[in-house]
Every structure is written in C-alpha cells, then in structure tokens.
Structure 1
Amino acid sequence: MSGPVGGADPSDPSERAYDLWAGLHEGVDPRGSVWVAGWVRLVHRCARPLAGRGVRPDTVTLVGVLVAGTAPVLATLPAGWPLLAVVAVLAAAVLDGVDGALAARTGRATAWGRVLDPLADRCSDVLLLLVLLVLGAPWWLVGLVVVATLLLESVRAHAQVAGLHGPGAITVWERPARVIVAVLAVLMHLAELAARGLGVAVLPRVDGPGLVTALAVVAALLAGAGLVSLVVAVRRALPG
C-alpha cells in the first residue's frame, strides 16, 4: 500500500482514502491519475455532510440500490423522464463510492458492511443492465451480459478469498463501463425519439430497440473479454 507523497497530510481523510484505494488495486497510487484522484475527492466531498449528520454507510449503500432501481422504470416513461434515468444511473454510481468514503471518514467500516457492499453492487449492476432490456434489447442477450458480469465478480471474490491481493486485473468491464453502457442506452433511446418526433430518419432501417441491441452486443463482448482477462490474471497470480 502506498503512503502519502510530497507534503501530503497523512491525517487527511482524502489521503487515507487514496491509500485504501491503492491497497485494493495492486498498489496503484490514485494520485497518479487525475480521474481516479478526482473521483476519490468527489465521493469524500459528498460523504462529508452525511458524516456530520450521522448517516450510516449501510444506509447510503441501500439508497444507492433503490436509486439504481428507478433507472429502468424512468427509462420507459414518455417525454423527458428518461433524462432522469440518466441522473439516476450517475447518482447510483456516485453513491457506490460515497458509502465507502463515509465508512472511512466515520470509522464505521464493519464486517457486515463488507458483505453488504458487494451484494448491493451486484444488485445495482443487474438493475442498470435492465435498462437495456426495457429499451428493447432481447432478454437472452441482456441475460448473457448479466451472467458474464456476475461471473466476473464471483471469480474476483473467490480469488481474493483464496489469497489474491487486489482486484487481479482492471478489465474493460468494470463498474464505470457498466454505468456508461446504461447511460448510452438511455441517450440513444432519447435521440431516436427526438429524431422521430422531428420526422428525421437518421438510420431509416434501424429503430430504437435496434440501437440498444447493438449496444448490448458491445456490452456482451466487453463482459466476455473482461471475464477472460480476469481469469487469466487470477490463474497467473495464484499458485497451484
């Protein structure tokens, strides 16, 4: 695990969060990435007022699942409601990081929290991928993406129990990719509705469900590639 660099204050909650993140990602220092460091700062800023109000990390975890659950419902509503689905997807992604930041700031990290958090993450993964289903992608294709996603996380979890340190590999199908796919599905759906309303035929032979299905195919390929790359990395990392 990397320690604070430069003149960083080791007592600063953000610095402690950087070290915790590094310990879970094969010692990679998030300070070296503007995006990752910015993400860590963002979730800590969101966690700060919650910590002051005594909100429990488990509460944030459960709220994140509920917010993710609204995304597939909002995506199917008319008018501008699907835009709120985009907000719901992004909010659920932020809350996924806020609960851990809140636990770090308040010292409320518990054994039960370490069980609840990945369980909630997998529920949120499935709910976000349901956006593809409700917008027209075939059930078997979305099911394939869901199964590959759950298998990927199951391999990682069992490998860590077997002695793997860190995530094993950062694949092309981590949580950010899943969030991006859900957001793109809604935006593509909205674009198709807007074009239809204006009488514009951007892709005359492809309707909204067809676009979402194509996106689901991309998601399936990414999920499969991620699963394979993780299995290979875990096999190389573990003895026997």
Structure 2
Amino acid sequence: MLSRDEYLAEWSRWHGGTDPASSRLVHGWLTLAYTLARSVAWLPPLGATALGLLVALAAVGPALAGGAWLVAAGLLVGLSGLLDSLDGALALAGGRASRRGYVLDSAVDRLTEAGYAVTLWVAGAPGWLAALFGALCWLPDYLRARAGQAGVAETGSISVWERPTRVVMTGFTVGGAGVVAAAGLTGVAGVGDVPAAVVTAGAAVGSLLGVVGTAQLGFSLRRALEDQPPR
C-alpha cells in the first residue's frame, strides 16, 4: 500500500492536480480515510462504495422517525461520507484505481447526496430548501465534468463546498436536531418545532455555502476555460 504522502499525490493526480493541502478539512478527511484504508485493506473498493450508498439511504428511516432518532440519522450520514472516501483510499492507495471505478464513485456520490436532501426534508426542512441543498451538492461536480469535456484538465480550486463539507453539514444538522429533541426542547413559544427549526437553519446555511462554493468554482473554471485554445 502507498504511503500517506504517495496516496495524497495520487489523489491529486486523479483530481486534476488539485492540492488537498489547500483545505484543512479536505486534507484531514482524506488522511482519516487513508488511515482507515490501511486497517481494512482487504475490503474491495466497490464494497465500500455500495455500503456507503446503503448507509446514506438508511439515514432516511430514523430521520423520518424524528425525535432522538435524528441523532442516529446524523451518525449514518457521517458514516456514509466516510465510507465514500474509504473506497477511494482503498482504490488509490492499494493500486486498484480505474476509470470505471472513478465514474461509478462519482455517480454514487450524487445518489448519496440525493439521500441527504431527502433526509433533511423528512427531518423538518421545507421541501424547496432540501431540494436546493441537493441541487447545490450536484452543481459543482456537474460544472467540473462539463469543464473537463471542454478540455480543462484542472478541476478548479477547492471551495468551501466540497464533499466533506456537504457530509459534515448534513450530519451535524440532523444530529444536532436530534440532540435538541433528546433534551426535551421540542417546542418553544415563537419558534414552534425546535428540531425542525434546527434542520431548516442547517439546510439554509448549507445552501448558502453551496452558492458561495459554486461561485468560487465558477470563477476558477472560467479562467481555465479562457486559457483553452478555440476548437
């Protein structure tokens, strides 16, 4: 298995030369995934990919139950994100990376983020806000994919709205609402359903980060597209 530095360099190569050290959250997230990959090197990357999707979809159940069950939903969201990074670490550090696996992993990421949006919705966020949150999870990677088709080799600078941020925002939002419910703060005068208000606030903050992150990425990709020779 590759060393950590070799793994991070390989991750950068597969992501258009992006330096993971430019974001503490991304760097820390990848380092955690690599550490776990070393202990479960026997696990096939595809197995981790499938398990991550199943765990993400499973979070909808306890989110729908509400109350203290929201803590379980938040933990499942976090676990799904970790499994998603684990499959990449297993593939890259173990020398098993392939273009087919890269595409499959990207497709599964979009499905899990749809699951996050549904989790926020059933946990109390308005439908339109949950849908906006989900769309802003999809948009940056869609822009990167289209820019790649236009000849841009780089994936753009790391923004405030990368995959780890989306997982952390969803997990902490839903889990935090569960902690509030477990503490008995289910209704306050002038606020109503406090756990639902927490989920709504978290989804709104996440959506704001999504707008900012997409703008950051858009400016970065625009410069890269302007440098491309005309077809």
Superposition TM-score tier, normalisation by shorter sequence: 0.7 to 0.9
Alignment partner of 1:231 out of 201, 218, 225 = 218
Alignment partner of 2:70 out of 79, 82, 96 = 82
CA apart distance, 1:118: 0.3
Alignment partners' CA distance in 1, 2:30 and 2:201: 33
Alignment partner of 1:133 out of 97, 112, 121 = 121
- Are 1:120 and 2:111 matched, yes or no? no
CA apart distance, 1:232: 1.9
Residue number in structure 2 paired with 1:16: 6
- Matched positions, count: 224
Helix, strand or coil for the counterpart of 1:171? coil
CA apart distance, 1:210: 2.5
Residue number in structure 1 paired with 2:49: 61
Residue number in structure 1 paired with 2:169: 181
Larger radius of gyration: 1
5+ long unaligned stretches in structure 1: 1-10
Matching of residues 33-44 of structure 1 within 5 Å: 36-44=26-34
Specify the code of the residue in structure 2 equivalent to 1:153: D
Length-normalised TM-score, structure 1: 0.81
CA apart distance, 1:192: 3.3
Specify the code of the residue in structure 2 equivalent to 1:112: R
- Greater shift after overlay, 186-195 or 140-149? 186-195
- Are 1:100 and 2:88 matched, yes or no? yes
Give the conservation status (yes or no) of the 8 Å contact 1:17–1:40: no
Specify the code of the residue in structure 2 equivalent to 1:109: A
Give the conservation status (yes or no) of the 8 Å contact 2:159–2:216: yes
Length-normalised TM-score, structure 2: 0.84
Q: Percent identity?
A: 34
Give the conservation status (yes or no) of the 8 Å contact 1:18–1:29: yes
5+ long unaligned stretches in structure 2: none
Alignment partners' CA distance in 1, 2:125 and 2:27: 35
Alignment partners' CA distance in 2, 1:144 and 1:67: 22
Specify the code of the residue in structure 1 equivalent to 2:181: L
Alignment partners' CA distance in 2, 1:27 and 1:80: 39
CA apart distance, 1:212: 1.8
Q: Deviations over 1:140-183 (max 9, x none)?
A: 12112222322221011111232323321222221122112212
Specify the code of the residue in structure 1 equivalent to 2:37: A
Over the aligned positions, Cα root-mean-square deviation in angstroms equals 2.6
